């Protein structure tokens, strides 16, 4: 227990150094948002997906096989 207390005191008096997230966090977040937007923009505009969620008129019943 005494060792843990010494470690905690040493870390409490240490100068704060910015870590990776402090330095690059916002840049990584913006980069991810840009890639997300670009990929979904391509999917929505270029792939020719029919965006209709209602199956009415598209699905026709097949004859039963006997």
pLDDT digits (tens, 9 = 90+) for 7-44: 767 666 667 788 888 899 999 999 999 999 999 999 88
Q: What are phi and psi of 19, to 5 degrees?
A: -95, -175
Q: How far apart are CA 35 and CA 63, in angstroms?
A: 47
Instruction: Please report the pLDDT score of residue 16 as a whole number.
Output: 76
Inter-CA distances, 59 with 42, 48, 63, Å: 28, 20, 13
Cα dihedral 10, 14, 16, 20 in deg (nearest 10): -60
Q: Which residue bears the tokens 């008129």? A: 57
Kindly report the pTM of this predicted structure: 0.50
């Amino acid at each position: 227990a005494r060792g843990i207390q010494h470690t905690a005191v040493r870390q409490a008096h240490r100068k704060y150094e910015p870590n990776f997230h402090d330095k690059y966090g916002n840049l990584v977040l913006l980069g991810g948002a840009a890639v997300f937007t670009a990929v979904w923009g391509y999917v929505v505009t270029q792939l020719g997906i029919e965006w209709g969620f209602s199956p009415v008129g598209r699905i026709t019943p097949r004859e039963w096989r006997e």
